[in-house]
């Protein structure tokens, strides 16, 4: 896809959850790229269930799906007590997990659920007990994929995602006033929430924006919402560096 270049004066709308955009925003500041940061959801710690400690201690492998999964677990449980191999979906999650566990963490090259399932270490898992540390809801692909290979899957929920109390009309007015042309979304949940928050008469405006997304699955969801495929740009992954590179490419600038 050859995407149209963005007006360099137009701020990029960043919608990463509260507390998860610091590095990306710092990089945008450093490169003098204008942006508007508007988180739509935040994360809240969920008290661990009584059996969580036993599940983690007895696991054959432990998978962490996000930075929040790590940080909210670490506030309640010492990750150094986990002796099983550690796997993270993305590099940012792995960095945080390595710091609190003091151990090496495996990360797939393709930093999505599909890439994690392709790891050699997760092919022969018959009768293995695998714990997935995550938030509320989320994709079931990892669980289903590993169950089909004969693994026993256990969830440990350490946090939940909560929509922020926002007024959709106010958001719409602000985004128009700021001359937003590009919206960065990193989950289907955020994408859907944008369309739910903004008044229906603004949906045609949303459909005309340029969107940076992080997976083919998100692109499919966006198309179902009426966004033309030509308006959707997929970054290499959901990490900050990949998002920054996508923004720079759409602005017609390249940075080392």
Among 161, 177, 205, identify where a domain stops.
Answer: 161
181 located within any domain: yes
5 located within any domain: no
Q: Are residues 87 and 193 in the same domain?
A: no
Q: Give the pLDDT of residue 239.
A: 83
CATH number of the domain enclosing 207? 3.40.50.10090
Q: Give the pLDDT of residue 1.
A: 42
Q: What is the pLDDT of residues 16-59, one digit of tens each?
A: 988 788 889 999 999 999 999 999 999 999 999 999 999 999 99
- DSSP E strands, 54-107: 61-64, 86-88
- The pTM for the full model equals 0.84
- DSSP E strands, 5-135: 12-14, 35-37, 41-45, 61-64, 86-88, 129-134
Rounded to an integer, what distance in angstroms lies between the CA atom of residue 96 and that of residue 125?
Answer: 26
| Class of residue 30 by CB neighbours under 10 A (exposed 0-12, middle 13-18, buried 19+) | exposed
Q: Are residues 152 and 195 in the same domain?
A: no
101 located within any domain: yes
Range(s) of the domain holding residue 75: 43-161
The stretches in the chain having pLDDT less than 50 are 1-4, 255-256
Q: Give the pLDDT of residue 137.
A: 75
Among 161, 187, 219, identify where a domain stops.
Answer: 161
Among 127, 161, 195, identify where a domain stops.
Answer: 161
238 located within any domain: yes
Q: Are residues 206 and 220 in the same domain?
A: yes
Q: Are residues 78 and 91 in the same domain?
A: yes
Q: Give the pLDDT of residue 254.
A: 57
Q: Give the pLDDT of residue 4.
A: 47
Q: How many residues does the chain have?
A: 256
Q: Are residues 79 and 169 in the same domain?
A: no
- Taking CA atoms, 177 is separated from 8, 36, 50, 55, in Å, by 16, 11, 50, 51
122 located within any domain: yes
């Amino acid at each position: 896809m050859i995407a149209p270049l963005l007006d360099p004066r137009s701020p990029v709308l960043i919608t990463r959850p509260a507390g998860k955009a610091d590095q990306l925003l710092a990089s945008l500041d450093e490169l003098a790229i204008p942006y508007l940061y508007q988180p739509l959801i935040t994360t809240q710690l969920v008290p661990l269930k009584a059996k969580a400690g036993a599940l983690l201690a007895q696991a054959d492998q432990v998978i962490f799906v996000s930075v929040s999964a790590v940080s909210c677990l670490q506030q309640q449980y010492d990750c150094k007590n986990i002796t099983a191999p550690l796997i993270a979906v993305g590099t940012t999650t792995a960095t945080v997990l390595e710091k609190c566990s003091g151990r090496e963490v495996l990360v797939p090259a393709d930093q999505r659920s599909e890439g994690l399932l392709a790891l050699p270490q997760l092919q022969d898992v018959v009768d293995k007990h695998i714990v997935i540390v995550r938030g509320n809801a989320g994709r079931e692909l990892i669980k289903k994929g590993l169950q089909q290979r004969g693994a026993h899957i256990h969830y440990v929920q350490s946090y939940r995602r909560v929509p922020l109390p926002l007024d959709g009309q106010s958001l719409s007015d602000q985004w128009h006033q700021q001359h937003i042309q590009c919206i960065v979304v990193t989950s289907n949940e955020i994408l859907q929430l944008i369309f739910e928050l903004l008044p229906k008469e603004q949906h045609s405006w949303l459909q005309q924006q340029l969107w940076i997304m992080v997976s083919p699955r998100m692109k499919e969801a966006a198309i179902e919402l009426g966004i033309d495929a030509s308006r959707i740009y997929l970054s290499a992954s959901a990490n900050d560096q990949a998002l920054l590179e996508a923004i720079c490419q759409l602005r017609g600038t390249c940075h080392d």
